[in-house]
Amino acid sequence: MLDAVTTRLNAQVADLQGRVETVAHLADLMRSGRLPENASAIVVPLGFKGGKPADATGVFSQPFNEALGVLLIATAHDKAGQKALKRINPLIREVVKALIGWAPEDVSGVFQADRGKLVSLHQGRLVYQIDFSIIDHVRTPS
């Protein structure tokens, strides 16, 4: 699912084209201690929560709500990050617009936006996280 979301954002958000990566890239950035210079995004898994299971004749079914985050990284040259927040607000809206109501091919639900928050303002970089979730179902013979 992370790859599908990454591909979607690279295709749908003009200001991020070619600069959306998965969580593996975040590990590389943290090791190097350097965040990107230009606006970029990293798609990270946030876990899941299982719903109430159902057991029908021969089939076990359970819905689950899978969550992921999109970390937007932007340059912030002012201490409070106000200029960066003004620049990143349109980008936040574009990311939300690209994902809400959409789903990867193999998932039964569609994405919804859950929340957004400022995660960090450090070393001239602003990091803003947008959380999304999608409901899917697992069915297996019982």
pLDDT tens per residue across span 17-75: 999 998 887 777 767 767 667 789 999 999 999 988 887 778 888 899 999 999 998 88
Phi then psi dihedrals of residue 91, to 5 deg: -65, -40
Better-scored residue on pLDDT, 2 or 26: 2
Model pLDDT, residue 100: 98
Q: What is the pLDDT of residue 141?
A: 85
pLDDT score of 79: 66
Structure tokens at 33: 């201690």
**Distance, C-alpha 47 to centroid of its chain:** 12
Residues 51 and 60 sit within 8 Å (Cβ to Cβ): no
Residue 128: CA atoms inside 13 Å, Cβ hemisphere, count? 25
pTM: 0.87
Residue 10 or residue 120, greater confidence: 10
- What domains are defined for the chain? 2-141 (3.30.2000.10)
Q: What percent of the chain has pLDDT over 90?
A: 54
Say if CB 108 and CB 61 are below 8 A apart.
no
Mean local confidence (pLDDT), 73-91: 81
pLDDT at 75: 84
Provide the pairing of β-strand 20-22 with 40-50.
parallel
Q: How does pLDDT run across 119-134, given as a tens digit for each residue?
A: 988 777 889 999 999 9
Quick one: pLDDT at residue 85? 81
